[in-house]
Structure 1
Amino acid sequence: MDALTTVRDDDFLRLDHQICFSLHAASRAFNGVYRSALKDLGLTYPQYLVMLVLWEHGELPVKRIGEHLRLDSGTLSPLLKRLESAGYVERRRSADDERSVTARPTAAGTALREKALEVPRRIAAATGLTLGEIRDLRAHLSALTTALTTALDAADLDALPPGDRVSE
């Protein structure tokens, strides 16, 4: 018997039973801890994520940065502009395609990486979890993200009229 059919209807609508709320509350708590941990770097959490991608991959097209972070260019462009104004990122238009813009860390942005090394340690300590538990949680969240993305894609496909489905 499926566990979902054994749960009382009233229990489904309890706030403390909603995984989305648990994730929302944890996300808000993480944002507060990151705000404190990133204060000395002068970065916001979204700016920190951009810098993580650039530190890991070096110069990238803005579109690729967005793919790594699951952000659209409308959200990413202001982040990159602020990082460029702070002197941490340099943006360049492609000579081959004026529409394509790349971003790379500047010398100051690269130097910031050394100061940022303490951030993951502070965050890990704040969780109260062991590194093994953090790895397991990250794996579960990754699987959850994949499942939800797949469900969303399937829901989007189901919303199309039958003749518009690519698979048909």
Structure 2
Amino acid sequence: MSSNWQTRFADLIAGNHSDTGDPVDAGAQLRIVDDEGNEVFLQALARNSVFLRVSNSPKSGFGGQLIWDDPSVLMRRSDYYAYNGDKYGVSPDKKKASGLTRDPLTIATHGASNNEIMFRDGIDLLGAEAPSRIVCHQAHQRTALLESFKARGITHLGGKPVEDVVKTQH
């Protein structure tokens, strides 16, 4: 497994889900569906959920960012829950789930830097739930990610050419 995020992201899409090689180690599921909605690939990525954070503006840094310009792409689902702070993914059915919300208007106001939204059973990163943008910090990172996608035969994310989705911050 590689340590740079572009290769790691492409590895996830290609089916390499954990450094140990054990798919149960890795987390949520990567689910790929065709244009008619038929599942063509399913692989474990996380035990139960994919974790995301709400932010009004992208953070600067050296890693990549997946950005949904229209949060309703994900919020139309019914399997998410959120906290305005890190609860380490406490499930809604646990006693320690205080502060949990499923209200998208409340979630939109979450301002804690460690807020979390959990989506059960994965996110379709290639299809209908694909991010609007994948922002790379530098041009060489964008090039590496596009090359990784090309090597794996990934040409579109959410119906858009990968070149239009993968952007450079600087």
| Shorter-chain TM-score range | under 0.3
TM-score, structure 1 as length reference = 0.27
Higher relative contact order (CA 8 A, sep 6+): 2
**Structure number with bigger Rg:** 1
Q: Which has the higher helix share?
A: 1
TM-score, structure 2 as length reference = 0.27
Q: Which has the higher strand share?
A: 2
